[in-house]
Structure 1
Amino acid sequence: MTNITLNLKSPRIEVVDALRGFAIMSIMLLHNVEHFEYYHLPENFPTWLVALDKIVWDSLFFLFGGKSYAIFALLFGFSFYIQNDNQAKKGNDFRGRFFWRMMLLLVFGLFNTAFYQGDILTLYAFLGLLLIPVVNWSNKAVFITAVILMLQPLEWARCIYYILNPDYVAPPNLSNAYYESIGYYMKHGSFIDYVIGDLTLGKTASLLWSWENGRFFQAPALFMFGMLVGRKQLFTTTLATNQFWSKVLGYAIAFFIPLYFLKTYMVDLVTRVTLSNKLTIIFASWSNVAFMLVIVSSFVLLYQKESINKALSKLVPFGKMSLTNYIMQSMIGAFIYYRYGLGLFEYTGATYCLLIGIVLFFIQLSFCTWWLKTHKQGPLEYIWHKATWISFGKK
């Protein structure tokens, strides 16, 4: 009886935990170099350090900007598949419980927002609900829907409108005014001012920015692609999956190069700012996803090499505790850089912040490794799991 019960649950796939750990690590490094969105250039730095800061900033955002988030979104959809599949094997409908799980994620996201207004958990909590109606669709239907979303149809519709109306000038992004308002309490506020501001102005600004930059279409598309990756068992190690990821790597590189060029030079190619801004959003979205696939496919293929696996597998505990780590980094980072804490935003450029981020990563990694020696889940993962399966009076 015990063996039958165990077989009903899909085993954890180690490479997924390691990849999730890599995504959280790179998100942490990015958040550090931008002072957790408290943008400030320290004065009186020597010329060589200013130049080094620029190299560090540009390199990290080239490697991880928009890509780490995309990896996280892909794995979010994969995790949904695993959870739904486990329940389906037991004859349970997971959709209602998943809705409740997303409401819990919303609570975690709002808590995280109190420290860092750029939180993505709240966005995932809302957009994750779009997985509910498509969960029983065929692979073909899910794939077509994901492709349509990934194409950024709203932005293309706007481009067509702009072309048909050559005199139209788009108004400034709504998020701009909110970000300007954020600057006031970040410069002069207390901890309470930060919390209130982040949960109101900051959260509004973050959601508007996501809407204005195509994240409301890109994220659900990646969720659905992640679900398909799960259905196709593409994270398992077989000859067929190795061939698949090798092809993905080749195609992703081939697509990334022209897409990155178009994103970078769109302003020069299309002189009308109203139109070039929207085209830049489209090609930036595609470029980021293409490079994300380069990272994912390379990671999966390298993970199978014994010498490299020893290093990459160290990320597994970090990935297993991704929720704990994501929120913990916001709390620690806010204290380090914001005025109500140490206020190091005034004294640190990208290079120093990268070093701080690396130190924080190793501290968190050590904590995760120690914690999981005696616990099956991280503390917040445990709370989320227990709350997900709380009884609502049904027997």
Structure 2
Amino acid sequence: MKPATTMGRMDIVDALRGFSLAGIVIVHMVENYIGAPAPEGALDATHLGIVDYVVDGIIFLFLRGKFFALFSFLFGLSFFIQMDNAHKRGTDFKLRFLWRLAILFVIGYVHSLFYRGDILTIYAFLGIFLIPFYSIKNKWLLGFASLLFLGLGRYIIFLITQGDNLFTAGNFSPDSPEIIAYYDSIKNGSLLDVFKSNLIDGHLMKLDFQLGVFSRGYLTYGFFLLGLFIGRLGYFRDYFNKIKLTKNVLYWSIGGFFVSL
């Protein structure tokens, strides 16, 4: 049995990408698409009964932070597939990939004017650093990814900043003046007010959120590298013949999930 494909695409990868996007949408719906911590009491209307708290707990436990990992993994996998397909045709895809990242950044920046939590600009920036890793041996690839998952990036940033923000002087406390002013702009301001708030300050705060001491941008890049590694193994091109491996990974993942609770 062969994996399903459509016009040279791997249907399983497209299905997983749609699955991850659905999970991200659900999480953002629960967060009301604020893109920042909500001031105290701002979201009380979303928790009026026990059902609201149960649903929020389920989403927090099973969805929040999980689907971004899957989407980041698939970004790294897609990078490998594009590079590998071009290599098989005898062409160099690096410049074209950079061009696609530039387009992705523009789309993401426009999106960030509406929604401060946009992730596309971060993907476009981090994607640049995938290119040098394409030719690195697997052991170094996995080694560096492991260091990122262990917090190497955060330790380095802490040594540089001593815990301060990289790009802004504010903080992410729900009662900070910056957060209160932002929340007021999206609640009571015009669309232009939202644009002004997100144009520069919003983007810099997002960079602090993604690249600061307690940020997850480093994990995002780690998942990029993991997707690149799995792409090299050719797992998704032949997954029907690797059922035993898939089951073992599933069992270990379930066990790891409960251990982490």
Alignment check: 8 A CA contact 1:117 1:199 kept: no
Are 1:17 and 2:14 an aligned pair? yes
Change in Cα spacing, 1:171 to 1:86, as seen in structure 2 (3 Å) is closer
- Residue 4 of structure 2 corresponds to none
1:214 partner SS:
coil
Partner of 2:28: 31
Query: Cα deviations across residues 354-394 of structure 1 (Å, max 9, x unaligned)?
Result: xxxxxxxxxxxxxxxxxxxxxxxxxxxxxxxxxxxxxxxxx
Q: Deviation of residue 85 (structure 1)?
A: 0.8
| Residue in structure 1 matched with residue 55 of structure 2 by the alignment | 56
In the alignment, which residue of structure 2 is the partner of 1:147?
146
Q: Secondary structure at the match of 2:237?
A: coil
Matches within 5 A, 1:203-352: 203-212=203-212, 213-238=214-239, 241-260=242-261
Following TM superposition, by how much is the alpha carbon of 1:170 offset from its aligned partner in structure 2, in angstroms? 5.4
SS at match of 1:114: helix
The one-character-per-residue Cα deviations of 1:28-51 (angstroms, maximum 9, x if unpaired) are: 1111121102743255x8x9x422
Give me the whole-angstrom Cα distance separating, in 2, the residues matched to 1:53 and 1:199: 34
Shift of residue 155, structure 1, vs aligned partner? 3.6
- Give the Cα–Cα distance (whole angstroms) in 2 for the partners of residues 99 and 202 of structure 1: 25
1:343 is aligned to: none
For residues 250 and 187 of structure 1, the distance between their equivalents in structure 2, rounded to whole angstroms, comes to 45
CA shift in 2, pair 1:253/1:230, >3 Å: same
Identical-residue share of aligned pairs (%): 32
Q: CA deviation at 1:175?
A: 3.8
- Alpha carbons of structure 1 residues 69 and 97: separation in structure 2 relative to 1, 3 Å: same
SS in 2 for 1:35: coil
Cα offsets for 1:194-220 (capped at 9, x unmatched): 112122222222221122333221111
1:201 aligns with 2:201: yes
C-alpha displacement of 1:119: 0.5
Please give the secondary structure, in 1, of the residue aligned with 2:9: coil
Q: For the residues of structure 1 that align with 2:240 and 2:103, how far apart are their CA atoms?
A: 39
Q: How far does the alpha carbon of each residue in 1:149-180 deviate from its partner, in whole angstroms, 9 at most, with x for none?
A: 22111445689x8xxxxxxx956894425434
Quick one: distance in 2 between partners of 1:189 and 1:239?
53
2: CA distance, partners of 1:186 / 1:34: 14
Mapped to 1, the partners of 2:251 and 2:155 lie a distance apart of 27
- Is residue 2:106 matched to residue 1:107? yes
Q: How many residues of Structure 1 are paired with residues of Structure 2 in the alignment?
A: 241
* Structure 1 residue 236, shift from structure 2 partner: 3.1
1:309-328 Cα shifts (integer Å, max 9, x gaps): xxxxxxxxxxxxxxxxxxxx
**Unmatched 5+ stretches in structure 1:** 1-9, 162-168, 261-395
Taking a change above 3 Å as real, the CA distance of residues 151 and 203 of structure 1, as seen in their structure-2 partners, is: same
Rounded to whole Å, the distance in 2 between the matches of 1:221 and 1:12 is 24
Q: For residues 239 and 12 of structure 1, what CA distance do their matches in structure 2 show?
A: 16
More helix by share: 1
Code of the aligned partner of 2:182: I
CA distance in 2, matches of 1:67, 1:170: 26
Runs of 4+ in 1 over 6 A off after TM superposition: none
**Quick one: which of 22, 40, 43 aligns to 1:41?**
43
* Separation (CA, whole Å) in 2 of partners of 1:55 and 1:21: 25
SS in 2 for 1:135: helix
1:68-123, CA deviations, whole angstroms, 9 ceiling, x for partnerless residues? 11111000011111110111112111112211211111001011112111000000
Asked if residue 122 in structure 1 is aligned to residue 121 in structure 2, the reply is yes
Residue 87 of structure 2 corresponds to residue 88 of structure 1: yes
TM-superposed deviation, 1:146: 1.3
Shift of 1:258: 3.0
User: In structure 2, what is the equivalent of residue 72 of structure 1?
Assistant: 71
- State which drifts further: 149-158 or 28-37: 149-158
Change (3 A) 1:136 1:113: same
RMSD of aligned C-alpha atoms?
A: 2.6
Q: Which amino acid aligns with 2:67?
A: S
In 1, distance between residues paired with 2:44 and 2:249?
42
- Corresponding residue for residue 185 of structure 1: 185
* TM-score of the two chains, using structure 2 as the length reference: 0.82
Alpha carbons 1:139, 1:228 under 8 Å: kept: yes
